[in-house]
């Protein structure tokens, strides 16, 4: 019945909000892992990876929006080029990850592969935009560095997500609760 499904969807909104908060929270945990100053691991993507198999598409989009706008407000970068780059990268990453998740049979890909696909898309878009808007046409030299580091971080985030998925009892209880 339309009425009850709308109620169900509304009941899940707090969970979407909590995953949004997790995204912002995980972003602040990046300091625990040493990286070069220009480069961000992208831990904020971890909750999105985890949510892929039990959030609906609209919920995932909402989560993405919360993550992107939320980071802009929390970090104060909402009105700068950093927001433009990160939102474009996040959108590209989400589109690719979601398509891969939907099109590739479950047993053939894990969160590691999805994370790598998302990382590739995000970094390609961000490098392209940086070249056009910030660094000019001669800055192609930055591409291999970003893509290479992005491959490493994609692997790392994917592995982290798989580990959380496998061992987090909290996550297991959340999924059970949502399916009942």
Partner 1 sequence: MAKARNSKHPDRLDALLHPTPRFLWGLALLGVLVLAPRWETRAAVMLFGGVLATLAGKRISFSYFLLLAGTVVVFHALAPFGKVLIMLGNFPLTEGALLGGWKNGLTMAGLVFVSLGTISRQLHLPGRFGKLWALTFSWYEQLMESKSRVHPGAILLSIDRILEQHYPTRPGSSPVWTQEQRSPHGPTKASGWALVILSTLAAVTLAVALR
Partner 2 sequence: MKPFDIVFLLLSLVLTAGSAWAALAPTNAPLRLEVQTDGGLYTYPLDTDQEIKAVGPLGTTLVHVEGRAVHVEVSPCANKVCLAMGTIRQGGQWLACLPNHVFIRISGGSAEASIDAGVF
CB of 100 to partner 1, least distance (A): 26
Neighbours of 134 (CB within 10 A): 11
Where in 65-124 is the site for partner 2 (CB under 8 A)? 100, 104, 107-110, 112-114, 116-117, 119-120, 124
Q: By rule CB under 8 A, what count of residues binds partner 1?
A: 46
**Alpha-carbon span 151 to 110, nearest angstrom:** 16
CB of 65 to partner 1, least distance (A): 7
Distance, C-alpha 70 to centroid of its chain: 13
- Greatest Cα-to-Cα distance within the chain, rounded to the nearest angstrom: 58
Which one, 84 or 100, has the nearer CB to partner 1?
84
Are residues 60 and 51 in contact, defined by beta-carbon separation less than 8 angstroms? yes
Pseudo-torsion of CA 52, 56, 61, 62, nearest 10°?
Answer: -110
Q: Does 24 bind partner 1 (CB under 8 A)?
A: yes
Are residues 109 and 134 in contact, defined by beta-carbon separation less than 8 angstroms? no
> 89 touches which of partner 2, partner 1, none (CB within 5 to 8 A by kind)?
none
**Alpha-carbon span 51 to 16, nearest angstrom:** 9
Binding mask 85-104 for partner 1 (x = CB under 8 A): --------------------
CB of 17 to partner 1, least distance (A): 4
DSSP 39: -
Residues near partner 2 (CB under 8 A) are: 100, 104, 107-110, 112-114, 116-117, 119-120, 124, 127, 140-141, 143-144, 147-148, 150-151, 154-155, 158
């Amino acid at each position: 019945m339309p009425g009850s499904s709308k109620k169900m969807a509304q009941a899940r909104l707090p969970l979407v909000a909590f995953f949004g908060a997790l995204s912002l929270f995980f972003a602040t945990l990046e300091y625990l892992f040493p990286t070069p100053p220009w480069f961000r691991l992208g831990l904020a993507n971890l909750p999105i990876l985890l949510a892929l198999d039990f959030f609906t598409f609209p919920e995932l989009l909402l989560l993405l929006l919360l993550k992107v706008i939320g980071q802009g407000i929390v970090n104060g970068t909402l009105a700068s080029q950093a927001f433009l780059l990160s939102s474009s990268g996040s959108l590209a990453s989400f589109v690719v990850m979601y398509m891969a998740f939907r099109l590739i049979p479950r047993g053939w890909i894990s969160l590691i592969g999805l994370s790598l696909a998302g990382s590739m898309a995000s970094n390609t878009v961000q490098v392209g935009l940086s070249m056009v808007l910030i660094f000019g046409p001669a800055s192609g030299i930055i591409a291999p560095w970003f893509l290479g580091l992005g491959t490493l971080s994609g692997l790392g985030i994917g592995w982290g997500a798989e580990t959380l998925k496998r061992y987090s009892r909290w996550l297991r209880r959340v999924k059970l609760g949502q399916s009942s």
